[in-house]
Structure 1
């Protein structure tokens, strides 16, 4: 892999109240805990998400195991596995979710998270393929600007990592 990591990473993308997707790491980062908690106050998974994004995937997994196994919960559990270095488990979980959700509004979200897991597993070319598909699906669906920005950010950062120029 030819990484151009000295280049300026894509800018952070606003994800919601009190958090961004970091342009360098492509991971969510809480920037204002109070605003984040207020924004997540009605989300039953808010504590687990905060715990995961604060760097404690073990505790987040414990919290998620008590929740109903929705697509979102299973994706968050896969993110926990990824952050714990259990890449094969995370990749299998995302492959299963993608097989189940192909053609649904969940598909671009899952492809993007699958790509981030491939990236963590040091498979950047495969990750880039997932990010390209997620971006194209979001464009085709007329997704909101923040979702398009997130997909473009992941695509552009990964292009840097494999030594390709950013797309405009």
Structure 2
């Protein structure tokens, strides 16, 4: 990666990637994605969100039990709909509840993405760095480390660009 180009897209799972420019998941092969999500009760909502239909995803999620995952996905919907204050508040609430649990690095990474959407790049970088460190310390799988490294590197690039201007 050079200063001018974002981190590469990375494979997130069957049929989907995490974009290096936006740090958001996007479905690249719908059949493969659906095959990989057959056991996930939130598959339809995730498909809608990752296909760019946050309104539909939100509708589907409002019928689900308000687990940490459902609330995080709802915060992602809010972020994608431009409701960054709501997304940031939800992630702050979730982090207050889940600090010290296996959810913490996941929530920090998603909180960082909401901070990016709000234009708070340095704060996003701090969250991405903590998420990466926590995942590395926990011996997280390579794909999770790669997504945290991608987010950290993109935020570093954006901070450098802000400093240069």
In the TM superposition, 1:71-110 aligns within 5 A as 71-110=68-107
Q: Normalising by structure 1, what TM-score?
A: 0.93
Give me the whole-angstrom Cα distance separating, in 2, the residues matched to 1:30 and 1:60: 14
The number of aligned residues is 160
In the TM superposition, 1:1-168 aligns within 5 A as 7-163=4-160
Give me the whole-angstrom Cα distance separating, in 2, the residues matched to 1:47 and 1:7: 36
RMSD: 1.2
Give me the whole-angstrom Cα distance separating, in 1, the residues matched to 2:124 and 2:5: 20
Deviation for aligned residue 1:6: 6.8
Deviation for aligned residue 1:41: 1.0
Structure 1: unaligned runs, 5 residues or longer: none
Q: Normalising by structure 2, what TM-score?
A: 0.95
Structure having the larger proportion of residues in helix: 2
Relative CO higher for 1 or 2, CA cutoff 8 Å, sep ≥ 6?
A: 1
Structure 2: unaligned runs, 5 residues or longer: none
Give structure 1 regions of 4+ aligned residues with deviation exceeding 3 angstroms. none
Deviation for aligned residue 1:12: 1.2
